[in-house]
Every structure is written in structure tokens, then in C-alpha cells.
Amino acid sequence: MSDIKKRGLGRGLGALMPEAAGATKAPVTPRTYFSAGIEDLYPSPEQPRRRFDDTKLDELAESMKAHGVIVPLVVRPRSEGGYFLIAGERRWRAAQRAGLHAVPVVVQDVEESTAFERALVENLQRADLGPLEEAAAYQRMVDHLGYSHEHIAERIGKDRSTVANMVRLLKLPAPVRQLVDESRLSMGHARALLGLDEAAAIERAARTVVDRGLSVRATEALVKKARAPEKPAKPGPAKSASVRDLEERLTRSLGGPVKITEDAPGKSGRIEIRYMDLDHLERLLDRLL
């Protein structure tokens, strides 16, 4: 008995109750809902949103200080340890500002493509994405997942034309994309500007829109005017020899250029007299009056 006590001393109850030969351990069920440490969570590489409003983060942090994190964050296992966020990066950032050390999480073991779709849909449902972030997310689904615009539209519940028009925004020059990011140009403005072909022309038009505070309709008119080829001025009817002779005589007589324009040959018209300076004007007035 003393030998058993010596062997078991300090080794816990398991030392006194050795497993039977051939016995198997019960499988460990992975946790799917628990409180995870802030440091164990990582931003997802699939996160389509790149900009987070500091003011709104501060407001959410203050709410968390009072009420905690009400809605759990959705995460997936990370091969290096910890978890990637699928949904809830904004809450995770706000929790750090609030000084929280742990947040509730729901674990979903999903593939990268599924995680990206869920992150995209969550942001779209919350209207959290800017136009260019949304456009970049669609393009990434095309490039990395091999999705067509039609397939993307089916997955997120939008029209194919909507997806295609969003992706076209990525063709804007970088300075114009910056104006869209800063909300100085709307989605409607950006789509109208894409009616121009050259990057330089798009930038010039965008600056005009911002400087003048033009509406979307006015922007469309600006683009239409820029695209329209300039019509050459129609040459006037040839002047008769008698009209040209009269122009020359009046020019010599009045000391300045005189132009005669006929509305119709042998009918009404007008005479244009140019004065060269104020002294010349006074001489003309003296003669005419």
C-alpha cells in the first residue's frame, strides 16, 4: 500500500487509475461557440473592406464598454494557430479600442472561397462597402475563384449588369478613384465619367465636376459634350464683287475695318465697323452723327 501511495503521490488521480490495456480515449469535440482572446483573432485576407471609419469605430467601442459584444464574430481556423475573421472585423477592432480581452466567436470550418463570399455578403447586407471596395471584391472573385459576372450576381442576389458596372469602376484613373474613395464623387458621377476614353480626359472632367459641384446629370452632359466632335463652322455665302468693293471703300473712308454681311443677296444685311482706339471711335461718331 505504501508503494502505491509513493508512486501516485503528486501525480493526480490518473496515476491511481491507469487505463485498461487497449482502451481508447473519447474523441474531443471541437468547440464551435466560445469566448476567444483578442490576440487569437486575425483579420481575414478575404476581407473586401479596406477602410474603417474611426469615428464609427469609437462610437461602437463606447457601446461595447457599456454592453459588451452582443453579436458573436464568425471565424475559421487558421493553420498557424488562432482564427481568421470571416465576419466581424469592425467589431474586433472596436473591441480592442474598448479594452476588451476576449470576444464571443462562432467557428465555421469553411474553404477560402466560401469565407470570402460570406465576408462579402455580410458587408453588402450592412451597406458597409464603398463602391471601389465592392468592385475590387467582385474582380477578386473573377481572378481567384474563376467566377463569371453572372455567377457572382447569382451568389450575392444582384443583377449581372450591376456587377459588371461596378467592376468597370476599376478602370478609372487612380486620382479619380481617390475622389470616389473620399466620397467627393458618387457612383453615378464615376459611371458617367467612364464614358470618356482617355485617362487624361477623365481626370480633367472629374476635377471640373468636383470644382463646380456638378450633379450626375450635369456630369453626363459634360461627358457628352466632350465626346462630341467639334463641328466646323459653316462657310458663309460668297460675297459679290460689289459688296467687296463697298467694304474696301468704307474701310478707307472710315479708317478702320468694315464688314458687310448679307442675309440674302440683294436684300437685308448688316454693317460691322471696328474702331481701333477711343480716338478713332470719337472720329467715327463725329462723322456718323
Contact between residue 261 and residue 240 where contact means Cβ atoms under 8 Å apart: no
Residue 219, C-alpha cell as written in the block = 456630369
CA-to-CA dists, residue 77 to 101, 105, 111, 121, 163, angstroms: 19, 11, 10, 20, 30
For residue 152, the model assigns a pLDDT of 86
What CA–CA distances, in Å, run from 187 to 52, 168, 200, 235? 19, 11, 19, 43
C-alpha 31: how far from chain center: 38
Residues of the chain with pLDDT under 70: 1-31, 46-48, 50, 123-128, 229-237, 266
DSSP code for 146: -
Told to judge if 89 belongs to the known catalytic residues of this protein, a careful annotator would answer yes
**Residue 167: its pLDDT value, please?**
92
For 124, phi then psi, to 5°, come to -65, -40
Quote the pLDDT of residue 46. Answer: 67
Tell me the C-alpha distance between 196 and 132, whole Å.
Answer: 19
pLDDT at 128: 64
**Pick the catalytic residue: 19, 59, 80, 89?**
89
C-alpha cell at 149: 459576372
